[in-house]
Amino acid sequence: MYCGIDLANKTSAICIRRQQKMVLETECATDEDGFRQALKDFKQLTIVIEASPFAEWVALWLEQLGHQVKVIDPRRAAALIRTKKKTDRLDAQQLARLAETGWYHEVHRKSDPARLLRSHLRARQGLVEARQAQVFRIRGLLRVHGLKVGSVSKARFAERVRQLCHDHVPDLLAVVEPLLSVLQGIRDGEAALTRRLKQVAQRDASCRLLMTMPGVGPMTAVAFVSTVDDPHRFARGDQVAAYMGLVPSVYQTGDTHYTGSITREGDKLTRTLLAEAANALLAHYRGDCALKRWGERLADRKGGGKARVAVARKMAMVLHRMWINNEPFRAFA
């Protein structure tokens, strides 16, 4: 028998089918006890659920109940299920049909270490974004009073803000001081998570191997390792680049064929860090290697922006091959 479950925070819709006929439609609380009660009369179901932040834990609960669980790509499922009428019940029905036909794309379920690393990276990235937003907020408040902070280092930002307020609008200090305190707390948290991730990168053999490539630092290495998780699930490096959303989009129909910008599918954080690594290689690395030369030639023809994206794509492919072969980066392979 086949089952589709449309997950939601509080309650989830369930549909069970057998021999192309519906056997059960119900709802249950989205927790272990709820699924146990709803599925108590069924054994060894093939269950399809869509990938989501909560899907991994639900899959573990259902497998403990003796069922086979498939976590599928929701974007590809949406391409198969095209309807203008959408409810949780109908979604569960469609997922059950996909389970029965096998027309779905199963996604990789990350290992526990990779999932923990992803949590660390996302937490750090959240603090980075919060720090940037707080800095912009403080700059905006001062700009209303004609005060410009200008270009200043992180270490001197608070001192510069206090000095401007003291010299020009002393009463503004009472407004800005709480924001500066929050900013300092964000920076302390960001620094703590950054130190922890650097320690993880130094301890992990795969991360140390990937960091032999110029431009690839601890954050990029940890992000790449935790996103790919198992390098052997990709047969070729171009599949990794596609997984990261770094390959050009393609439109082809009849005599029309053109390529567009990159797809931007997959993990945004890892893609961003690879782009930063490419920029570090092209703009700041003082050594010489074939990858840098190739990127510089491409920049002369296509411009710096396209060159950075192309180098990031090439980096993803080379990093995958290094990991598979357990070989450090070679400047001129």
- pLDDT at 83 exceeding the cut of 70: no
For position 79, what pLDDT does the model report?
60
Please give the Cα distance from 306 to 2 (Å, whole number).
46
- pLDDT at 116 exceeding the cut of 90: yes
Q: Which helix (H) or strand (E) holds 276?
A: helix 268-283
For position 203, what pLDDT does the model report?
96
pLDDT band at 78 (very low <50, low <70, confident <90, very high): low
Average pLDDT over residues 270-276: 96
Point out the least confidently predicted range of 19-28, 101-110, 286-295. Answer: 101-110
Task: Find all residues with CB under 8 Å of 201, minimum gap 6, and list them.
Answer: 207, 208, 211, 218, 219, 221, 222
3-state secondary structure of 54: coil
Please give the Cα distance from 190 to 134 (Å, whole number).
13
| Both tokens assigned to 130 | 């919060």
- pLDDT at 80 exceeding the cut of 70: no
| Higher per-residue pLDDT: 127 or 252 | 127
Point out the least confidently predicted range of 46-55, 124-133, 316-325. Answer: 46-55
- Average pLDDT taken over every residue of the chain: 93
In terms of DSSP bridges, do strands 248-253 and 46-50 run parallel, antiparallel, or are they unpaired? unpaired
Query: Which residue reads 């032999």 in tokens?
Result: 212
For position 82, what pLDDT does the model report?
62
pLDDT band at 312 (very low <50, low <70, confident <90, very high): very high
| Both tokens assigned to 208 | 């140390």
pTM of the predicted protein model: 0.88
For position 76, what pLDDT does the model report?
72
For position 213, what pLDDT does the model report?
97
CB 96 within 8 A of CB 102: no
Task: Find all residues with CB under 8 Å of 232, minimum gap 6, and list them.
Answer: 324
State whether the Cα torsion 201-205-210-214 is positive or negative.
positive
In DSSP terms, 71 is beta-bridged to: 49
Cα–Cα distances in angstroms (integers) from residue 189 to residues 120, 126, 127, 195, 257, in the given order: 12, 10, 7, 10, 49
In terms of DSSP bridges, do strands 11-18 and 2-6 run parallel, antiparallel, or are they unpaired? antiparallel
For position 40, what pLDDT does the model report?
93
Point out the least confidently predicted range of 94-108, 191-205, 226-240, 307-321. Answer: 94-108
Average pLDDT over residues 239-260: 84
